[in-house]
Structure 1
Amino acid sequence: MASTELARGRPRPRPLSPHLLIYKFTITMVMSIMHRITGFGLYVGVLLLAWFLIAASTDAAAFSWFTAFIDSIIGRLVLFGFTWALFNHMLGGIRHFLWDAGYALDAPAREQLTWATTIAALVLTVVTWAIGYAVR
């Protein structure tokens, strides 16, 4: 039948596949996207670490530029975001490892684990920064 439709010059209708706008966004979907974004953010953070190491190994003027940036509001926000991205990406990796091992794949456990990693990443970030300010 398909060959006769093609012989008559009528192409077969293309199959319809769902687009992202058709799906209802779930927390696991959002966190999957965030896992990729935080992975990219970690690359940016490594550039910041490289800037620190280069500035520390050159001279006092270069290190003062780095220190001025880090001590600014924008620098603190970048560091806070990097810390959150580090914890979020790490816990997301652990969550995926558990899923790969076959744990927490059913609907309630899957979403509970996702919320737990999201909240734990934020808590670990705040605790890390609180300890950093307490030690200072």
Structure 2
Amino acid sequence: MASPTPRERPLSPHLQIYRPQMTSISSILIRITGNALIVGAFLLVWWLLAAATSEEYFNFVDGVITSWFGDIVMTLSLLGIWYHYLGGLRHLIFDAGRALEVETAEKLGWACIIGSVVLTVLTLLVI
């Protein structure tokens, strides 16, 4: 049996020295918003089922959705929808082989974040 010899290998970057990049943060946020939209979808389905059940139950569920908790969940769901949409457009651009330079990709990441906030505020103002 061969004896193991120590080798000089590079260490993986640790979280204390690794600087997160906009491209990785944006990708993580797309996954988070995609999964978080399920909460808003469940509330919407619950509201629709309550409307089909009875007036008392609908009033209860409508009270939950129009409360401060429901307002926060629905506003964050709206933000998630916009971010997920803009992130999908960003990935479509990447799939076309465009904007793959690091500087441009970072600008698109920031555009997704800023754009989703602006579109959320505009949507809330229109509604």
Alignment TM-score, normalising by the size of structure 2: 0.88
- Residue in 1 aligned with 2:12? 18
Distance 1:56 1:20 in 2: 51
Q: CA deviation at 1:35?
A: 0.8
DSSP 3-state at the match of 1:25:
coil
Q: Which has the higher contact order (CA 8 A, sep 6+)?
A: 2
**Do residues 62 (structure 1) and 74 (structure 2) align?**
no
Could you tell me how far apart the structure 1 residues matched to 2:5 and 2:53 are?
A: 67
Q: Supply the distance in 2 between the matched residues of 1:36 and 1:17 (Cα, whole angstroms).
A: 28
1:97 Cα deviation (Å)?
A: 1.3
- Bigger radius of gyration among the two: 1
Q: Which residue of 2 aligns with 1:99?
A: 94
Give the % identical residues: 37
Q: Check 1:63–1:20 CA distance in 2 against 1; reply closer, same or farther (3 A cut).
A: farther
Residue 112 of structure 2 is matched in structure 1 by: 117
Structure-2 change in CA distance of 1:127 and 1:101 (3 Å):
same
Deviations 1:88-114, CA, capped at 9 Å, x for gaps: 111111111111111111022111111
Using the alignment, how far apart are the partners of 1:33 and 1:65 within structure 2?
A: 35
C-alpha RMSD of matched pairs (Å)? 2.0
Q: Quickly say closer, same or farther: Cα 1:44–1:16, change in 2 above 3 A.
A: farther
Work out whether residues 43 and 65 of structure 2, in 8 Å CA contact, stay in contact via their aligned partners in 1. Answer: no
Aligned residue pairs total 126
The aligned amino acid for 1:72 is S
Contact persistence 2:37–2:80 (CA under 8 A): yes
Structure 1: gaps of 5 or more residues: none
* Deviation >6 Å, runs of 4+: none
How much does 1:49 deviate?
1.5
